[in-house]
Structure 1
């Protein structure tokens, strides 16, 4: 009750007989209780419903997130198949033959926009109660980009369709689930995000041989059209599953990074590490197929199977890394994953013959999955759930910028070269030497990213004023 009302009630009590004053006080108090208590109970009940979702909804949310990641990141992860075709003599894009740097830029723009769009999509999520208004247009734009790419005949056509349209749409489709899911899990947040993000590996495992078979049997045009229609068929029902329940998203914090957070050393190094890791992460997946065909003389179908193997072990690794992280610490697991992925590139890829390259495909698939699966959970852990939305948006925006430079620079190092059925031994040796330079470049990026995330671990402990072995 307001202070003015209390004073008025006291004056009324003095001016009335005792019995009447008591009745007035009792009636006023009763009215206050009747008006206040139901609202309190109702809001408390709503908060419990919002922050304690049923296990059924959690399971549905995980399935929807898995399906979304299957499509978005799965398609991103198999771009190497498209790159191999576009740069080959059979390409329908005549100005793309042998141009690895320019063709890889198509894929990195699509991937980069998928991540960088967070800085625009997350504020939209905060202002929109029904995220279907964001996800459905995203599915439509993404599918349209894939479909229109099937009619491309010039490289700039691919930049407009398979790069820009696809990237914008995939970002609108991707971030509502990625941003909302962590708030619905507490103890098993690492497993939940690991399970959702494991859809990337499964997507690559399934889509890699399927797209390779479609390209060889039906041609690139119909392969892209089928992929576009398939994306639409999966994306529409997934969009209707995701719900923004009351204050779940707003509880995750503001959509712009707080100045106090931005000034922390942990944030600066986290962003720099995300930039470097994104640049290094896409290089093996983009050039795995071209190395297999050009240097190891594998067929395009065999190269797609190697890419599928990489995605398969990556999928398992994302789940297992999430479980391991819940036990030994998410930041600890993240650091080890990034550093060992760098070691696998530097130790196994340079001058790799067929057996060692297969070992590299498997090892990198296992180790590279850790960063992708654990980054969102470590952001929530280091900066708090209240800052998760803003920091996640900023870090993924910077991560998208990193993806834009990684593969194209590797393509510049590799240079322009023509595929041939029987290349000369001297040409193969020269090409192998250039791939060795690509491997060193990629390993250096990942190693530097590992140093950054290790510094984030130390900086976070210093900020909290204590060191914990499990973090």
Structure 2
């Protein structure tokens, strides 16, 4: 292959990112361009990954996401008060954590910190990934720390014990487990990157679907202590084969300097040129707001089922499971759709429609409309989470992917820590379990009025967060077209 025959534009010493996404370029030219990494003005050709390895990467990524995001999504079940009084959930009157009884905001902060650190750890993980050759060890060590946090949480007797274990240890470990694979996976795919990342991230929906049902079963039959221990051991067992798959791509991106002996590391910090761009700042604000709003339904869906609809806690777990399953299918569908109508277009549509579903379907919802919300929110919310990495590549270029992706996930982690605890403060301390008969049907709805009004306030808070996030990403779309000097309907 004659490298001089390849038409490339150069911007600040790097290949112009637009050349990677030019719909008018010949397929063979696009293929060759995506196998080139430019460092210090030299062209370096990389061997394309095999389809077998790509399939293994998709499977490993889905398995990892299954546990990390699946456990994050079902934390609300730990808060929910069951109809069986002898079970010991965190906020119930029979809780083994006495200072957590009825404290929605304090308990939700445990899950928010754990989930938030999963994302926020990106600011430290991306530089670490760029420096360490043995990325398998980093991945497995993270899974071990994550599992240790879950197991140690089973021995907690005070809420600060949960902050140390199920929040800090779990969150730091899950970040180390999550980011090596998620940072390296996109560079192994080219034209089908949207589909690939959607498939990997679909594991989160499957994880939420299965974890909600499994966790409810474990809690009902073995109690909260053994449920945490089983989850920890299960997670560690899955991590062994997952960690064996992840590796740096030879001659490309984060691992390139090891094969070439270059002294210049791949950029892991956002450069000054990007910091001066409106796209970066509005993308950051949108990432914070969307993350804050996204976690609220996941944390309080089960609580709403028990408190307002007067259904059993097992029904609440079922709704969480349905939402996660729909979300999983949606991520794959959104990834496929994005490859045809544009990744930014699909991301904006999903962000806007998720806000609409909150306002239209969750506010003051009876059972039938709430079920519709559970399904529709699962459909629309999956788009943003699946497509953010691919839109980062499209807007900022492959050479800036690691740095921008790290910052965006750090910001999303902060947003995750913000949304659910504020919703808990709005909701306040209350008894969340109406009187239920043995078959789980409501025998009394007295006193539901104040609780329902508080939940409506939570819905408005959540809807405004998601709507503001949609406006931000829409504005990023306009700014990106302006900066590139041309509007394209497919973007």
TM-score, normalization: structure 1?
0.89
Match of 1:21 in 2: none
Q: How does 1:209-228 map to 2 (within 5 A)?
A: 209-228=213-232
Counterpart of 2:15 in structure 1 is none
One of 432, 453, 456 as aligned partner of 1:436: 456
SS for the counterpart of 2:46 is helix
TM superposition shift of 1:96: 1.0
Q: Matches of 2:175 and 2:388 in 1, distance apart?
A: 17
2:71 corresponding residue in structure 1: 75
Alpha-carbon distance between aligned partners in 1 of 2:68 and 2:168, rounded to the nearest angstrom: 14
Q: Match for residue 353 of structure 2?
A: 340
User: 1:150 & 1:247 partners in 2: Cα distance?
Assistant: 45
Equivalent residue for 1:180? 184
1:247 corresponds to: 251
CA distance in 2, matches of 1:300, 1:95: 22
Aligned equivalent of 1:131, options 113, 123, 135: 135
Counterparts of 2:185 and 2:459, CA distance in 1: 35
Contact map agreement 1:253 1:385 (CA 8 A) in 2: no
Pair member with larger Rg? 1
Correspondence for 1:12? none
Q: How does 1:179-218 map to 2 (within 5 A)?
A: 179-218=183-222
Alignment partner of 1:174: what SS?
Answer: helix
d(CA) in 1 for partners of 2:249 and 2:134?
9
- Provide the residue aligned with 2:380 in structure 1: 367
Displacement of 1:427? 2.0
Match of 1:280 among 288, 293, 303: 293
Q: What are structure 2's unaligned runs of at least 5 residues?
A: 1-41, 81-88, 257-264, 436-442
Instruction: Name 1:382's counterpart in structure 2.
Output: 395
Alignment pair present for 1:322 and 2:335:
yes
5+ residue gaps, structure 1, are 1-43
C-alpha contact (below 8 Å) 1:278/1:400 kept by paired residues = yes
Question: Is residue 2:166 matched to residue 1:162?
Answer: yes
**When the two structures are aligned, how many residues end up with a matched partner?**
426
User: In the TM superposition, what is the alpha-carbon distance from 1:425 to its structure 2 partner?
Assistant: 4.1
Aligned to 1:391: 404
Secondary structure in structure 2 of the residue aligned to 1:442: helix
- 2: CA distance between counterparts of 1:245 and 1:331? 27
**Residues 298-328 of structure 1, C-alpha deviations (whole Å, 9 max, x = no match):** 1111110110000000000000000000000
Note the aligned Cα RMSD (angstroms): 1.5
In the alignment, which residue of structure 1 is the partner of 2:283? 270
1:60 to 2:73 alignment? no
Structure 2 residue matching 1:153: 3-state secondary structure: coil
The farther-off stretch of 452-461 and 242-251 is 242-251
Instruction: Give the drift of 1:257.
Output: 0.2
Shift of residue 83, structure 1, vs aligned partner: 1.7
1:454, distance to aligned residue in structure 2 (A): 0.2
Provide the rounded CA distance (Å) in 1 between the counterparts of 2:53 and 2:44: 16
Distance 2:461 2:359 in 1: 9
Counterpart among 111, 117, 121 of residue 115 in structure 2: 111
Per the TM alignment, residue 93 of structure 1 is displaced from its structure 2 partner at its CA by 1.4
**Who is 1:143 aligned against?**
147
What displacement does 1:253 show? 4.3
Structure-2 residue corresponding to 1:20: none
Give, in whole Å, the separation in 2 of the partners of 1:116 and 1:254: 18
TM-score (norm 2): 0.85
CA distance in 2, matches of 1:217, 1:314: 28
